Structure 1
Amino acid sequence: MTALTTLDPLPRRQARLHRPLLWFAAVNAVLTVVAVVGMLVDDRVIAGSTAWFKPTKFAVSFLLYSVALAWLISLRSKPSRLTWWMATVIVVAGTIEQLIVVGQVVRGTRSHYNMTTSFDAALWIIMGSTIIVLFLATMVVAAQLSLTRIGDAATTWSIRLGLAITLVGLALGNLMPNRESGVADIAGAHTVGAPDGTPGMPVTGWSTTAGDLRIPHFFGMHALQALPLFAALLVLLAPRIPLLRVLRVRVGLVVTMAAGYAAVLALVTWQALRGQPLIHPDQATLTVAAAILTGVVAGALISVASAIGTRKVVTA
Structure 2
Amino acid sequence: MQIEKSGRASSRDNSGAPVPVTWWAEARPVERLCHATGLLLILSGLAHLVVFAVDGGPWDGPVSWRKPVTFGLSFGATLIAITWVTSYLRVGPRLRTVLLAVFAADCVVEVGGITLQAWRRVPSHLDMETPFDTGVSMTLAVGGGVLVVLLTVFALASFRNPPAGPAGMSLAVRSGFAILLVALASGAAMIARGVVLARTGHQEAAYHSTAPLKPLHGVSLHAVLVLPALAWLLSRTPWSEAVRRRIVAAATTCYVVAVIGAGVWAVLTY
Please state how far the C-alpha of 1:233 moved relative to its aligned partner: 3.4
Residue equivalent to 2:258: 264
Give, in whole Å, the separation in 1 of the partners of 2:174 and 2:202: 42
Q: 1:188 aligns with which of 167, 190, 206?
A: 206
Structure with bigger RCO (C-alpha 8 Å, 6+ apart): 1
SS of the equivalent of 1:176 reads: helix
Q: Which residue does the alignment assign to 1:85?
A: 98
Letter of the 1:107 counterpart: R
Instruction: Say which structure is richer in helix.
Output: 2
Q: Per the alignment, do residues 251 and 48 of structure 1 end up closer, same or farther by CA in structure 2, a change over 3 Å counting?
A: same
Distance 1:113-1:50 versus aligned 2 partners, 3 A rule: closer
Instruction: Please name the residue that 1:233 is paired with.
Output: 233
8 A contact 1:231–1:254 mirrored in 2? yes
Residues 83/190 of structure 1: CA separation in 2 closer, same or farther (3 Å cut): farther
Considering only aligned residues, what root-mean-square deviation do their CA atoms show, in Å?
Answer: 2.9
Note the C-alpha offset of 1:50: 7.0
When residues 186 and 132 of structure 1 are mapped into structure 2, their CA distance, relative to the original with a 3 A threshold, is: farther
User: CA offsets per residue over residues 74-117 of structure 1, 9 Å max, x none?
Assistant: 44587511111111111111111111101111111010111222
Instruction: Please state if 1:16 is matched with 2:27.
Output: yes
- Per-residue deviation, residues 219-258 of structure 1 (Å, max 9, x unmatched): 1010011111222233334x2xxxx41x334323323322
Q: Does 1:172 align with 2:157?
A: no
Deviation at 1:172, TM superposition (A): 1.1
49 and 135 in structure 1: CA distance in 2 versus 1, 3 angstrom threshold: closer
Asked whether the equivalents of residues 176 and 188 of structure 1 are also in contact (C-alpha less than 8 Å), the reply is no
Identity of counterpart residues, as a percentage?
24
- Residues 273, 214 of structure 1: CA spacing in aligned structure 2 closer, same or farther, 3 A cutoff? same
Q: CA deviation at 1:142?
A: 2.8
The 1-side partners of 2:178 and 2:43 are apart by 29
Q: How many residues align?
A: 243
The aligned residue for residue 297 of structure 1 is none
Q: Is the 8 A contact 1:65 1:225 kept in 2?
A: yes
- When the two structures are superposed, what TM-score results if normalisation uses the length of structure 2? 0.78
Amino acid at match of 1:21: C
1:12 deviates by 5.0
Report deviation, 1:120: 1.4
2:76 maps to amino acid: L
Summarize the Cα distance change of 1:186–1:120 in structure 2 as closer, same or farther, 3 Å threshold.
farther
Bigger CA radius of gyration? 1
Q: Distance in 1 between matches of 2:56 and 2:63?
A: 7
Would the aligned equivalents of 1:43 and 1:50 in 2 still touch at CA under 8 Å?
A: no
- Preserved contact between residue 46 and residue 109 of structure 1 (Cα < 8 Å): no
Looking at structure 2, the residues matched to 46 and 223 of structure 1 have their Cα atoms a distance apart, in angstroms, of 25
C-alpha separation in 1, matches of 2:95 and 2:20? 21
Aligned-partner residue type, residue 221 of structure 1: L
What's the CA shift string for 1:276-312, capped at 9, x where partnerless? 9xxxxxxxxxxxxxxxxxxxxxxxxxxxxxxxxxxxx
2:212 counterpart residue number: 212
Q: Which residue is 1:253 aligned to?
A: 247
- The CA deviation string for residues 34-83 of structure 1, in whole angstroms up to 9 with x for no partner, is 20121012234486377211100011111211111222234458751111
Residues 46 and 105 of structure 1: is their aligned pair in 2 closer, same or farther, counting only changes over 3 Å?
Answer: farther
State the match for 2:170 in structure 1.
156
Asked if the contact 1:158–1:258 (Cα under 8 Å) also holds between the matched residues in 2, the reply is yes
User: What is residue 137 of structure 1 aligned with on the other side?
Assistant: 150
For 1:61, the aligned partner's letter is S
Distance 1:78 1:215 in 2: 32
- Of 62, 85, 95 in structure 2, the residue corresponding to residue 72 of structure 1 is 85
Q: CA-to-partner distance for each residue in 1:198-226, whole Å, 9 max, x for gaps?
A: xxxxxxxxxxxxx6321110110100111
- Secondary structure of 2:56's aligned partner: coil
Distance verdict in 2 for CA 1:48–1:176, change over 3 Å: same
- One-letter code aligned to 1:250: R
Question: What secondary structure is seen at the aligned counterpart in 2 of 1:268?
Answer: helix
Question: Equivalents in 2 of 1:72, 1:148: separation in Å?
Answer: 13
The residue correspondences of 1:19-58 to structure 2 (distance < 5 A) are 19-45=32-58, 48=61, 51-58=64-71
Tell me the distance in 2 between the aligned counterparts of 1:57 and 1:252.
33
**Equivalent residue number for residue 109 of structure 2:** 96
